[in-house]
Structure 1
Amino acid sequence: MHHAAKAYGTVAQQTASPRDLEAQLLLRAASRLQMIHDDWEGQRGALDHALLFNRKLWTVFLTSVTNNDNPLPAELRQNIANIGIFVMNHTLNVSGNPAPERLRSLININRQLAAGLSGRA
């Protein structure tokens, strides 16, 4: 969890809002996964680290949206939690059966959520 927290702190210093921070971190995770997808043979060794970063990031999101003090509407919190559970399960599946095409859903989810957070969706 240390690396995700460190990345979160580093990016936090560079952004104006928590939404921007979250979007930037999601895009960073998506970019890492995309790089591995695009150069599977050359970047395959980075897969575990990229999946770990993504999983830690989503752990932070899941912890936040399942906190009763979270100000988001309950339905939105539940939707984000459901996506987070999918991401966690799919990440475990990718770890156990790695293939570049299996990264697409993680990349797309991160990019779509980042676009929503930054008002581009």
Structure 2
Amino acid sequence: MSYAANAYARTAQVALTPREAEAAVLIKAAARLQAIQDNWDVQQTTLNEALGFNRKVWTLLSSAATEPDAPLPEELKTAMARLGAFVFTRTLDAMIEPSADKLTALIRINRELASGLRGNP
């Protein structure tokens, strides 16, 4: 990539709003999981790495959303805590007993939340 293209890419990353950045990282995690699910026989060896990345994303999201001073309604904080708990449980289950089908819910949740963050519910 040329110097100008690199500079543009860095500027584009800086220009993201926090919501756009959260949506982008959720889509990245979903895409990694989707690639593994679509090519299970070949990609299964990268499953724990992708699940670990998704877990880190959700640790940050659920922690930020449930902080006492987070500017969210209490019911949304509760919903994010429950959703985070589900994601963590499903992630652990997929690590213990790997199955392509167990990734579907994680992929869907990431995509739906990213869509909502982008204003496309």
TM-score range, shorter chain: 0.7 to 0.9
Q: Report deviation, 1:120.
A: 1.1
1: CA distance, partners of 2:93 / 2:15: 33
Unaligned stretches of 5+ residues in structure 2: 1-9
Q: Which residue of 2 aligns with 1:56?
A: 56
Identity of aligned residues (%): 45
* Count of matched residue positions in the alignment of Structure 1 and Structure 2: 111
1:119 maps to 2:119: yes
Structure 1 counterpart of 2:98, one-letter code: P
C-alpha contact (below 8 Å) 2:26/2:110 kept by paired residues: yes
TM-score normalised by L of structure 1: 0.87
Q: Which residue of 1 aligns with 2:39?
A: 39
Structure 2 counterpart of 1:20, one-letter code: E
Trace 1:1-121 onto structure 2 (pairs within 5 A): 13-121=13-121
Which one has the largest radius of gyration? 2
Unaligned stretches of 5+ residues in structure 1: 1-9
Alignment root-mean-square deviation, CA: 1.4
C-alpha contact (below 8 Å) 2:66/2:80 kept by paired residues: no
Moved over 4 A (4+): none
